[in-house]
Amino acid sequence: MGFFSKSSSTSNEGQNQPKVESSPVANQIKTQIAQELAVANATELVSKLTENCFKKCLMAPYDSKNETCVDQCLTKYMKSWNAVSKAYVARIQEASTTGEI
């Protein structure tokens, strides 16, 4: 459910489905789609990380102290991402069983 585990599970998705003979071209297309989605996700993450950690850490012109802050911010953001993912998935699952949405 974490960011990295989630993106890596993307490529294994087909294993749960019944085996259908896929042409190499079809597999190539699927691999490409999965790769481009992974790139899009990584880009989005880097952009949001930079936005948030820049705001939190760079109060004054750059000095070496900020590097520690940026590293800590990265760790904290990834932990937050996983916590949000957990809460979101739990809520969606709950909502779909109770018919809220």
- Longest Cα–Cα distance of the chain, Å, equals 59
Min CB(45)–another protein separation in Å: 7
**CA–CA distance, 89 with 37 (Å, rounded to integer):** 20
Residues 6+ apart with CB under 8 A from 101: 92, 95
| Binding of another protein by 58 (CB under 8 A) | no
Return the residue of 35, 50, 93, 96 that touches another protein, per CB under 8 A. Answer: 35
| Binding of another protein by 77 (CB under 8 A) | yes
Smaller CB distance to another protein: residue 21 or 63? 21
Return the residue of 50, 72, 93, 96 that touches another protein, per CB under 8 A. Answer: 72
| Binding of another protein by 50 (CB under 8 A) | no
| Binding of another protein by 97 (CB under 8 A) | no
- CA dihedral (69, 72, 73, 78) in degrees, to 10, reads 170
For residue 2, count CB atoms less than 10 angstroms from its CB and return exposed for 0-12, middle for 13-18, buried for 19 or more: middle
| Binding of another protein by 33 (CB under 8 A) | yes
